Amino acid sequence: MKTRVKRFLVGAVVAVALMSPTSSAFAHGFETSELEIIHPFLRATPPGAKTGAGYVIIRNSGSEPDRLLGIEMEAAARVEFHQSVVEEGIAKMRPIEGGIEIPAGGEYRLGADGSHAMLVELTGGIGLGFLVEATLIFEKAGRVPITFEVEPAGATLESADAEHTDGH
Ligand SMILES: [Cu+2]
Protein backbone atom coordinates (compact mmCIF):
# COMPACT_ATOMS: atom_id res chain seq x y z
CA MET A 1 0.00 0.00 0.00
CA LYS A 2 1.36 3.37 -1.02
CA THR A 3 1.03 6.21 1.43
CA ARG A 4 1.17 9.83 0.55
CA VAL A 5 3.31 11.60 3.09
CA LYS A 6 3.21 15.29 3.64
CA ARG A 7 6.13 16.78 5.42
CA PHE A 8 5.82 19.91 7.46
CA LEU A 9 8.49 22.05 8.98
CA VAL A 10 7.76 25.17 10.91
CA GLY A 11 10.15 28.05 11.31
CA ALA A 12 13.15 26.76 9.37
CA VAL A 13 14.05 24.96 6.19
CA VAL A 14 15.79 21.59 6.05
CA ALA A 15 18.98 22.97 4.55
CA VAL A 16 19.45 25.20 7.57
CA ALA A 17 18.65 22.38 9.98
CA LEU A 18 21.34 20.19 8.44
CA MET A 19 24.00 22.69 9.38
CA SER A 20 22.55 24.04 12.58
CA PRO A 21 23.35 22.46 15.96
CA THR A 22 20.13 23.97 17.31
CA SER A 23 17.78 22.23 14.92
CA SER A 24 15.54 21.14 17.81
CA ALA A 25 14.42 24.73 18.30
CA PHE A 26 11.72 24.39 15.66
CA ALA A 27 8.81 22.06 15.34
CA HIS A 28 8.77 19.28 12.81
CA GLY A 29 6.53 16.44 11.92
CA PHE A 30 5.07 14.26 9.17
CA GLU A 31 1.53 13.39 8.10
CA THR A 32 -0.32 10.68 6.25
CA SER A 33 -4.06 10.88 5.61
CA GLU A 34 -4.78 9.49 9.09
CA LEU A 35 -1.56 9.71 11.08
CA GLU A 36 0.43 12.60 12.42
CA ILE A 37 4.00 11.84 13.42
CA ILE A 38 5.09 14.52 15.83
CA HIS A 39 8.68 15.55 16.57
CA PRO A 40 10.51 12.25 16.17
CA PHE A 41 13.91 12.50 17.85
CA LEU A 42 16.90 10.40 18.82
CA ARG A 43 19.17 10.98 21.79
CA ALA A 44 22.73 11.91 20.87
CA THR A 45 25.09 9.02 21.63
CA PRO A 46 28.54 9.10 23.25
CA PRO A 47 31.52 8.05 21.07
CA GLY A 48 31.65 4.29 20.49
CA ALA A 49 28.08 3.68 21.60
CA LYS A 50 26.52 0.53 20.16
CA THR A 51 22.91 1.41 20.96
CA GLY A 52 20.70 4.48 20.85
CA ALA A 53 17.15 5.48 21.71
CA GLY A 54 14.34 7.12 19.75
CA TYR A 55 11.09 8.81 20.70
CA VAL A 56 8.00 10.05 18.88
CA ILE A 57 4.34 10.93 19.36
CA ILE A 58 1.94 9.39 16.83
CA ARG A 59 -1.65 10.63 16.53
CA ASN A 60 -4.35 8.78 14.67
CA SER A 61 -7.29 10.83 13.38
CA GLY A 62 -8.79 7.78 11.67
CA SER A 63 -11.75 5.70 12.80
CA GLU A 64 -9.70 2.51 13.09
CA PRO A 65 -6.58 1.73 15.08
CA ASP A 66 -3.28 1.33 13.25
CA ARG A 67 -0.16 -0.43 14.44
CA LEU A 68 3.48 0.60 14.25
CA LEU A 69 5.21 -2.65 13.33
CA GLY A 70 8.78 -1.49 12.96
CA ILE A 71 11.30 1.21 12.12
CA GLU A 72 14.05 0.92 9.52
CA MET A 73 17.07 3.19 9.29
CA GLU A 74 20.57 2.99 7.91
CA ALA A 75 21.92 4.33 11.21
CA ALA A 76 21.21 1.02 13.01
CA ALA A 77 21.19 -2.67 12.10
CA ARG A 78 17.75 -2.96 13.67
CA VAL A 79 15.27 -1.08 15.82
CA GLU A 80 13.32 -2.74 18.64
CA PHE A 81 10.52 -1.42 20.83
CA HIS A 82 11.33 -1.64 24.52
CA GLN A 83 9.68 -0.91 27.84
CA SER A 84 11.91 -0.03 30.77
CA VAL A 85 10.74 -1.71 33.97
CA VAL A 86 12.13 -2.10 37.47
CA GLU A 87 11.93 -5.65 38.82
CA GLU A 88 13.10 -6.33 42.36
CA GLY A 89 15.04 -3.09 42.35
CA ILE A 90 16.82 -3.81 39.07
CA ALA A 91 16.18 -1.71 35.96
CA LYS A 92 15.52 -3.86 32.92
CA MET A 93 14.27 -3.43 29.38
CA ARG A 94 11.56 -5.68 28.08
CA PRO A 95 10.67 -5.99 24.39
CA ILE A 96 7.21 -4.71 23.39
CA GLU A 97 5.87 -7.63 21.35
CA GLY A 98 3.66 -7.32 18.29
CA GLY A 99 4.24 -3.64 17.58
CA ILE A 100 2.60 -0.57 19.02
CA GLU A 101 -1.10 0.17 18.67
CA ILE A 102 -2.10 3.72 17.73
CA PRO A 103 -5.71 3.95 18.93
CA ALA A 104 -8.42 5.39 16.66
CA GLY A 105 -8.89 9.05 17.49
CA GLY A 106 -6.03 8.84 19.98
CA GLU A 107 -2.26 8.88 20.24
CA TYR A 108 0.68 6.79 21.40
CA ARG A 109 3.59 8.48 23.11
CA LEU A 110 6.70 6.41 22.50
CA GLY A 111 8.83 7.68 25.36
CA ALA A 112 6.15 7.78 28.04
CA ASP A 113 6.22 5.21 30.87
CA GLY A 114 9.69 3.97 29.94
CA SER A 115 8.82 3.00 26.37
CA HIS A 116 11.34 3.75 23.62
CA ALA A 117 12.63 2.66 20.25
CA MET A 118 15.97 0.95 20.82
CA LEU A 119 18.52 1.34 18.04
CA VAL A 120 20.71 -1.76 18.04
CA GLU A 121 24.16 -2.02 16.43
CA LEU A 122 24.60 1.60 15.43
CA THR A 123 26.49 1.94 12.17
CA GLY A 124 28.00 5.25 13.31
CA GLY A 125 27.67 7.87 16.00
CA ILE A 126 24.49 9.89 16.35
CA GLY A 127 25.74 13.44 16.76
CA LEU A 128 23.80 16.32 18.21
CA GLY A 129 22.11 18.26 15.41
CA PHE A 130 22.17 15.36 12.93
CA LEU A 131 19.06 14.54 10.92
CA VAL A 132 18.56 10.76 10.64
CA GLU A 133 16.40 9.36 7.85
CA ALA A 134 14.13 6.47 8.76
CA THR A 135 11.01 4.62 7.63
CA LEU A 136 8.14 3.88 9.99
CA ILE A 137 6.23 0.74 9.00
CA PHE A 138 2.54 0.68 9.86
CA GLU A 139 0.06 -2.15 9.46
CA LYS A 140 -2.45 0.06 7.61
CA ALA A 141 -0.64 3.26 6.61
CA GLY A 142 2.29 1.28 5.18
CA ARG A 143 5.80 2.71 4.90
CA VAL A 144 6.13 6.30 6.05
CA PRO A 145 9.50 8.02 5.52
CA ILE A 146 10.42 10.46 8.29
CA THR A 147 13.47 12.22 9.69
CA PHE A 148 14.54 11.98 13.32
CA GLU A 149 16.19 15.04 14.81
CA VAL A 150 18.95 14.48 17.34
CA GLU A 151 18.45 15.96 20.79
CA PRO A 152 20.88 16.08 23.76
CA ALA A 153 21.50 12.77 25.56
CA GLY A 154 19.13 13.62 28.42
CA ALA A 155 16.19 14.69 26.24
CA THR A 156 12.78 13.28 27.11
CA LEU A 157 9.46 13.29 25.35
CA GLU A 158 8.35 15.97 27.79
CA SER A 159 11.32 18.30 27.21
CA ALA A 160 11.09 17.82 23.45
CA ASP A 161 7.34 18.37 23.63
CA ALA A 162 7.79 21.62 25.55
CA GLU A 163 10.25 22.83 22.93
CA HIS A 164 7.85 21.77 20.21
CA THR A 165 5.03 23.72 21.81
CA ASP A 166 7.27 26.74 22.32
CA GLY A 167 8.17 26.58 18.66
CA HIS A 168 4.66 27.51 17.61
CU1 LIG B 1 15.88 -0.42 25.25
Question: For 64-85, how does the pLDDT look when each residue is reduced to its tens digit (9 = 90+)?
Answer: 999 999 999 999 999 999 999 9
State in Å: Cα 66 to ligand 1 middle: 23
Mean predicted confidence (pLDDT) in 43-65: 96
pLDDT tens across 112-149, in order? 989 999 999 999 999 999 999 999 999 999 999 999 99
* 46: exposed, middle or buried (Cβ count in 10 Å: 0-12, 13-18, 19+): exposed
State in Å: Cα 80 to ligand 1 middle: 7
| Residues 131 and 147: beta-carbon distance below 8 Å | yes
| Residues 69 and 57: beta-carbon distance below 8 Å | no
In this predicted structure, the answer to whether residue 18 has a pLDDT above a threshold of 80 is no
Mean pLDDT of the chain: 85
| Residues 46 and 93: beta-carbon distance below 8 Å | no
State in Å: Cα 86 to ligand 1 middle: 13
154 vs 117: CA distance, rounded Å: 15
**pLDDT-derived band at 159, boundaries 50, 70, 90:** confident
- What pLDDT score does 22 carry? 39
| Residues 14 and 28: beta-carbon distance below 8 Å | no
Element (H, E) at 15: helix 14-19
pTM for this prediction:
0.80
In this predicted structure, the answer to whether residue 16 has a pLDDT above a threshold of 60 is no
Mean predicted confidence (pLDDT) in 24-32: 70
Give domain 6-166's CATH architecture: Sandwich (2.60)
